[in-house]
A = this chain, B = another copy of it.
Amino acid sequence: MNHFLKLAQKRQSVRKYKSTPVEPEKITSCIEAARLAPSACNAQPWKFIVVDDPNIKNSLADKTADRILPLNHFTKQAPVHIVIVRESANISSQFGSAVKQKQFPFMDVAIAAEHICLQAADEGLGTCMMGWFNEGAVKKLLQIPKNKRIPLIITLGYPDTELKEEKQRKPFDQIISYNSYK
C-alpha cells in the first residue's frame, strides 16, 4: 500500500546527469514497463528506439537542445535517450480518434512514456520527457520514415541532483470537485 504514491513523489524531471553508464537490464525493464502500458483499443501504437551509442546519442542531443530558446540544453549529459515513435493504431482506435476528436495514439504514447519514467525512478534512475525538439532532424538521424510522428523523447541516466522534497503542484482542493464541475 502506498508504494505507488511514494514512487509518484520520487519521479521528477532530471536535467543533470552523472556520466555513469546505465546497465542494459535496467533499460530493458523500462521498455518492459512501457510494453505493459494500456492503450486505446489495445492498439499499442508505439516503437521505442534506445539510443545508447555515444556518437549517435550526442547528435540526437544536439537536435533536442533548441538553438534559440533556452530549452533542453542539458540533454548531452544523459548517457541514454529513448525516442518514442507513434506507429499506426488499429482501426477501432483510429475511428475513435476521428469521431471523438481525440488523438488517442498521442495519449497512449504519453502513458507508455510515463511507465518508462516511473520504472526508471523505481530503479534509482532519472528521466526527463521532452516534447520540444527538431522532429525532422531526429527522423533523418535515426532513419525514421517521414510519415511517422515522434511525440516524445526521454533522457535516461543516473541523476546528479537531489530529490526535491515537494513538487510544485496546485493544491488538492483546487483540482477536485464532487458530482458537478462547480
Residues of B within 8 A of A96 (CB): 131-132
Determine if B44 and A151 form an interchain contact, defined as CB atoms under 8 angstroms apart: no
Determine if B107 and A102 form an interchain contact, defined as CB atoms under 8 angstroms apart: no
Determine if B4 and A33 form an interchain contact, defined as CB atoms under 8 angstroms apart: yes
Q: Which residue of B lies closest to A49 (CB)?
A: B177
Q: Which of B11, B37, B131 contacts A40 (CB 8 A)?
A: B131
Determine if A181 and B108 form an interchain contact, defined as CB atoms under 8 angstroms apart: no
Q: A53-B179, A100-B131, A108-B110 are in contact. Are A169 and B35 (CB under 8 A)?
A: yes
Residues of B within 8 A of A32 (CB): 5, 172
Determine if A33 and B52 form an interchain contact, defined as CB atoms under 8 angstroms apart: no
Determine if B31 and A172 form an interchain contact, defined as CB atoms under 8 angstroms apart: yes
Q: Which of B42, B108, B131, B175 contacts A44 (CB 8 A)?
A: B175
Q: Which of B3, B114, B129 contacts A122 (CB 8 A)?
A: B3
Q: Can you identify 5 A-B contacts, CB atoms within 8 angstroms?
A: A8-B115, A36-B167, A38-B114, A47-B175, A56-B180
